[in-house]
Structure 1
Amino acid sequence: MQRPNVLSTPDPPAPRAAARPALHGKETPPVPSPPAYPVDLRPCIPVHMAGQHQTLGLREVLIQAHRIDDLALPLPPAQSALLRLLTAITAELTGLDDANLSLEEWHERRTDLLTSGRGLKAQDIHDYCDAAALDLYDQRRPLLQDPRLAAQCTKTSGINKLVLGRPAGNNIAWLSPHTDTAPRPVPSDEAFWHLLIQHYYGAAGRCTTRSAGPHTSGRATAGPLRSTLSFHPQGATLLETLLLHQFPYRGGPQDSPDTCPWQEPEPPDPVNPPPPATWPKRLLTGRSRHAVLLVPNADGSAATDAYLTWATQHPAYPATDPYLIIDTHTRAKAEQRDTPRRADADRALWRDLDALLLAGDENSTQRRPTVFDTLNDLPAPVRARLRVRVCGFDQDGRTTNSIWYTAQTPPLWNWAEEHDPPTARRIAACRQAAEHLAALLRTHANTAWNETQNPATGGTPPAPRRGQRPSRWAREALALYWPRAEQAFWNLVNHNTDEASDPYPVFARTAADVLRQAARPDLARHQTAGPALARAVRALAAAAAPASRRKKAARHAQP
């Protein structure tokens, strides 16, 4: 069934093969055209527009960006990657990639684009796409691929290796019907999404062996966004979102030309060191650590196989992605001190709000994404409706992929420290109180569990062991705590602002309530459960005391 494509440009007619002369009175059949899938013309990008779900080509997405509400890719890491690609293209189409603009001129140009109500110029988009290598299956320069892999790799990697979620190689197919003995082709639009994911979130470790120059290796390093959490400012339309994604250049002269991979005449060089991550295009689109080549079927409607291997054996240049929160670990080595905040499916996203809203200083242990530093002079209507789209991919640093997820905040930029310092600090205080009580809840739940399972016979009750895993009471209590803590958090921020001046009592009551609920089934089975629970609840209640008494108790508790 063909996908609906109301606004996309129709595909160009396939070139006709030249007729060959007849041999012995019989006409020679025409040579079939090679498979093709130009992503700028084929409908491969789902969007929300005018209350409907539509699928458009890249060219039409850019032309209609001021009418499109949002991207609608079903894979959050693919949406995060595509936003970076579209941001790089928009920077060139709008002139916001001009390094000669002063900071004031840059902001004036973006403000004019945000308030004009106009879309991008269609002719500029056509010229850009006509000059770029945007065909997935082009024989000489396929999009974001390296055609040399067919000769440099010992074998294909298999289409299941490309598609995240499918078991590949010797991995067991627990919950998937896919196997390498009978691989199922991937529609070309979905192959495009997974191609993006591999370039940004690809795994480290074993891959298909590739020989290029002096390098023969079967090991790759992790993609630049692997296991990270991206924060994308979101406006009323896709064009507004892409303009909010822009960020000015604040460095020195760039020694090499700044281009996207599809604008370069050749695929990346696997032998020499990669070029620096120049602003903004290479920084957003040119830091992949993987090389990929798709193998299409006869008509280009699907990918049937793929090569997936390393793109370079040289270390990556230092670069900070502008959409990541950076956490500073003061006790770590200098090269490991600043790390992107990891995606964690068990961590509620409201716990990262203060990292976005607080400007930070030299003593901060977290730094908000660079792009948010450029949002303080937005027109008031744009600032009032600005939301944040969060895209996370919970992975380990090498090969294991757990789950991807996405969420959207309410309009929040009017709460930023630059515009509303009291609210920003109140949000930070509430988050810190919630985190502190969660840590106390885990500790006291473990203590009560140990006292219940191993009651003391006249001595000191057993304390939690160093590095002890959460007990059953702790696990169940924390699972109940975080959803209720989120409700309490929003009530303090939006309604009970007086209580938010000292939010510890609210979260202490929440922690005590969920611990009682988690322990209730064991009260009748264990004689020591009741007293142990009572001691834990009293310890949590101490956190609800006035701030001055908490500080005094903390001082007396120190050895």
Structure 2
Amino acid sequence: MLTLGGQLVDLSLVKLLHDADDVRSVEGGTPGERVAVIEFLLAICYASGTYPDSSEQWPAWVDQKDALRPAAKWLAQRPEEEIWDLFHPVEPLGQNSLLAPFLDEHGAGPAQLVIERVGDYNQFFDHHHLEHPSPLPVAQAFRAMLTQHVYGPAGRARISGKKTLGDTITNLAATRLGTRIRVIALGESLGETLRLNLAPVRGPAGELNRTWTDGKERRGFKTKPGGRAVTGPADLHSYLGRSILLRPTRTGEHVDRVLLGAGELLALANEHLQDAVYAKKADGTSKPLWASATRAVWREAHALYAAVAEARSTTGGNDGGTLYRRLALFPAQDVAPEPGQQPARRVDLWAVGLVAKQTTAIAWVDGVFPFAPGLEARLYLASYRGSEIAEFVASALSKAAYAAWSVVYPNPKPSDKNAQIARFDARGRHWEATREPFDLLMEETTLGEDVHACLQEYAVTVATAARRFLAECLDPLPRNSQGAKARAAALRKFDVELDSAKAPTELRGEIS
């Protein structure tokens, strides 16, 4: 994608934007890597002035298949003094050349660049694995660098502040998307995807952050800085969330050493969170939806549809100020599609987040949820009820596990209780198995199938599978009277819960 020494820009990146409607999507080893590449392309589009003039124009602009070619032309015509070289000694693309005097002595192996390979981001611990010298191909290193800028977790960098640029270079703040779910609207091609996510700009578009030492004044590392103001969307989507410097091998085809420290801090406002949906925390306050190791993204999908439905029903007019308000600007279908037929327009909402436990990256989570203009109310109903049904089944499984435990362990030690109950708890398998039926529920709703009939079928599928998982958890019980009593108590409790008055109507009387 990029030049490595002398030329301006590799034509492949220019060609990618020029022919974006002939490309299905960008590739990446993880969902976060794909998001990071899309963020970089969005930044180029904004910096080149390639975006719709107004919210009113946006729906028609999304369908203009040549609308991104000005960005390709802008990129191809960058002046010679504007360097786009990953390994330039003064202005390395996306990096901080001020780290150069320290790279050889204080750098680590290229594994440090890859979020999933670092481990604990409190890197003052023993991190011998980061010294591994195995080189990283340049293209992979570039994508990993973009991912660090966007998703890097908080922690303490292993770089020495006293021996390099200052004490606070060790203070790794969570980068812009590291603490929340990012939602990207996906079209049928890369070109449509970029246009769907390019918003009208109220004010300056800002400048692309090509390198640390060019353009705007950036933070120092002697004291902890405040967040700097965002100058526009080009700045936002390309900000340098880490101070990074890469060392190439002699051939220039690989990266063999990396130095990584704290990067920029931004002062973000609501206008910089146009794709965010909000969820309540345990204390009752709200914050942008975050990635969770225990709560899958699909369980909150209804929040996406609610945001569009709210925008479409606003009586004071729709200003197109968020992704969901712009999606509501697409004309609604007069009638729902015939069962089995694709809607006139379809957009998939792709939600991506990084699960981190304190300073350790755990896993990427993502989910793709279909959307069609005018069907948001149906989709909201299906996703909300689908989540509610799954939640209730999980609660029934928990109570069933408790019923079995109370029979098997009549006089337990309090310290052993949780581990003992876990022996009969099938909720983990239930949540893992429910995503596929949920995806099918949403797909069928988008294709015009009857929502209530789809929910009924979904409820039976989920509850039947859950009862089977429970039975399999009970199978190891001894074949004696106590084991039989525990097995019967657990299955009976599960069935009673699903047939109770408080159960979702789709569940009652369906399982026996």
Are 1:268 and 1:311, in contact at CA under 8 Å, matched by a contact in 2?
no
Distance 1:40 1:88, change over 3 A: same
How far off is 1:354 after superposition? 1.4
Q: Structure 2 residue aligned with 1:265, among 207, 211, 215? A: 215
**Alignment partner, residue 134 of structure 1:** 84
Deviation at 1:436, TM superposition (A): 2.2
**For the residues of structure 2 that align with 1:322 and 1:167, how far apart are their CA atoms?**
30
User: 1:141 deviation in Å?
Assistant: 1.1
Conserved in 1, the CA contact under 8 Å of 2:160 and 2:167?
no
| 1:220 pairs with 2:172 | yes
Deviates more, 1:475-484 or 1:491-500: 491-500
Q: 1:500 to 1:266 in 2, by over 3 A?
A: closer
Note if contact 2:297-2:365 (Cα within 8 Å) is conserved in structure 1.
no
Structure 2 counterpart of 1:428, which letter?
Y
8 Å CA contact retained: 1:509, 1:541: no
CA contact (8 A) 1:37 1:300 kept: no
Q: Is the 8 A contact 2:230 2:236 kept in 1?
A: yes
Contact 1:446 1:473 (8 Å CA) reproduced: no
Identity of aligned residues (%): 19
- Find the aligned partners of 1:545 and 1:202 in 2 and give their Cα distance: 46
Q: How does 1:438-517 map to 2 (within 5 A)?
A: 438-452=394-408, 454-455=409-410, 468=418, 471-476=421-426, 478-480=428-430, 482-484=432-434, 486-487=436-437, 490=440, 494=445, 497-499=451-453, 507-517=462-472
The answer for the alignment partner of 1:83 in structure 2 is 38
8 Å contact from structure 2 (residues 403, 489) kept in 1: no
SS of the residue 1:89 aligns to? helix
CA displacement at 1:278 relative to structure 2: 3.9
- How far residue 342 of structure 1 moved from its aligned partner, in angstroms, is 1.0
Please, which moves more after superposition, 317-326 or 83-92?
Answer: 317-326
- The residue number in structure 1 matching 2:508 is none
Q: Give the AA of the match of 1:436.
A: F
Q: Find out whether 1:36 has 2:42 as its counterpart.
A: no
1:204 maps to 154
**1:540 maps to what in 2?**
494
2:233 pairs with one of 269, 280, 303: 280
Q: Which fold has the larger relative contact order, with Cα–Cα distance below 8 Å and residues 6 or more apart in sequence?
A: 2
**CA shift in 2, pair 1:537/1:187, >3 Å:** same
Give the CA deviation at 1:262.
Answer: 1.5
Match of 1:310 in 2: 262
Give, as a single letter, the amino acid of the residue that structure 2 aligns with 1:146: N
In 1, distance between residues paired with 2:257 and 2:147?
17
Residue number in structure 2 paired with 1:413: 371
Match of 2:362 among 385, 389, 402: 402
SS at match of 1:537: helix
Which one of the candidate residues 213, 228, 235 is aligned to 2:187?
235
Determine if contact 2:28/2:34 at 8 Å carries over to the other structure: yes
Which residue in the other structure is 2:349 paired with?
388
Kept in 2, the 8 Å contact 1:441–1:515? The answer is yes
User: Does the 8 Å contact 2:426/2:466 carry over to 1?
Assistant: no
The answer on whether the counterparts of 1:395 and 1:402 sit within 8 Å (CA) in structure 2 is yes
Gaps in structure 2 of 5+ consecutive residues: 312-320, 334-341, 506-512
Shift of 1:294: 1.0
Size of the aligned set, in residue pairs, is 467
The 3 A distance-change label for structure 1 pair 68 and 315 is: closer
Report if the CA contact (8 A) 2:249-2:256 is conserved.
yes
The whole-number CA distance in structure 1 between the counterparts of 2:302 and 2:40 is 28
Q: Residues 36 and 299 of structure 1 are in contact (CA less than 8 Å); yes or no, is this contact kept in structure 2?
A: no
Letter in 1 for 2:230: A
How far apart, in 2, do the equivalents of 1:216 and 1:546 lie? 58
Verify the 8 A CA contact 1:226 1:397 in the aligned structure 2.
Answer: no
- Partner of 1:268, secondary structure, is coil
* Aligned-partner Cα distance in 1 for 2:269–2:416: 36
What is the letter of the counterpart of residue 196 of structure 2?
L
Deviations 1:161-217 (A, max 9, x none): 2233446887578xxxx662x512212111101111211222322211236887555
- Asked if structure 2 preserves the Cα contact closer than 8 Å seen for 1:504 and 1:544, the reply is no
Letter aligned with residue 403 of structure 1: A
Aligned partners of 2:47, 2:503: CA distance in 1, in Å? 58
Q: CA deviation at 1:70?
A: 1.0
Residues 274-332 of structure 1: per-residue CA shift (max 9 Å, x gap): 4313442223222x4420111122342222211101125x6854565434443232725
Cα distance in 2 for partners of 1:396, 1:37 equals: 42
Q: Cα offset for 1:126?
A: 1.4
1:283–1:463 Cα change, 3 Å? farther
- 2:112 aligned with 1:161: yes
* Aligned with residue 64 of structure 1, among 15, 19, 33: 19
Change (3 A) 1:419 1:463: farther
TM-aligned CA deviation for residue 226 of structure 1: 2.0
Kept after mapping to 1: 8 A contact 2:55/2:326: no
| Cα separation, 1, equivalents of 2:65 and 2:139 | 33
State the 1:142 CA deviation. 0.9
Instruction: Provide closer, same or farther for how the CA distance between residues 476 and 216 of structure 1 changes in structure 2, counting only shifts above 3 A.
Output: closer
Match of 2:339?
none
How much does 1:58 deviate?
2.0
- Larger C-alpha radius of gyration, 1 or 2? 1
Mapped to 2, the partners of 1:225 and 1:167 lie a distance apart of 18
Q: Offset at 1:219?
A: 2.7
Structure 1 counterpart of 2:57: 108
Looking at structure 2, the residues matched to 466 and 285 of structure 1 have their Cα atoms a distance apart, in angstroms, of 50
Decide whether the 8 Å contact of 2:85 with 2:93 is kept in 1. yes
- Alignment match, 1:20: none
**TM-score, normalising length: structure 2:** 0.76
Match of 1:143 among 63, 70, 93: 93
Q: Which amino acid aligns with 1:126?
A: A
TM-score by length of 1: 0.71
CA separation of 1:508 and 1:371: change in aligned 2, threshold 3 A = same
Q: Distance between the aligned counterparts of 1:330 and 1:237, measured in 2?
A: 39
Task: Output the CA distance in 1 between the equivalents of 2:346 and 2:310.
Answer: 27
> For residues 371 and 425 of structure 2, what CA distance do their matches in structure 1 show?
34
Counterpart position of 1:290: 242
Please report the RMSD computed on the Cα atoms of aligned residues, expressed in angstroms.
4.0
Cα shift at 1:117: 5.5
Retained in 1: the 8 A contact 2:298–2:367?
A: no
Q: CA deviation at 1:235?
A: 0.8
- Give the Å deviation of 1:242: 0.1
Q: State the secondary structure of the residue aligned to 1:384.
A: coil
Residues 223-266 of structure 1 deviation map (CA, whole Å, 9 limit, x = unaligned): 2222544322111111100001123457xx67xx7222118536
Q: Is the 8 A contact 1:450 1:463 kept in 2?
A: no
Assess if the C-alpha contact under 8 Å between 1:84 and 1:285 holds in 2.
yes
CA distance 1:523–1:85, change in 2 (3 Å): same
**Counterparts in 2 of 1:325 and 1:343: CA distance versus 1, 3 Å:** farther
Closer, same or farther: CA 37–307 of 1 in aligned 2, 3 Å: farther
| Distance in 2 (alpha carbons) for counterparts of 1:130 and 1:113 | 32
Q: Paired residue for 1:301, among 242, 245, 253?
A: 253
Instruction: Go from structure 1 to structure 2 and tell me whether the alpha carbon gap of 1:70 and 1:467 turns closer, same or farther (over 3 Å shift).
Output: farther
Change (3 A) 1:343 1:216: closer
Taking structure 1 as reference, are residues 67 and 156 closer, same or farther at Cα in structure 2, changes over 3 Å only?
same
1:530 aligns with 2:484: yes
| CA gap 1:442/1:528 in 2 versus in 1, 3 angstroms | same
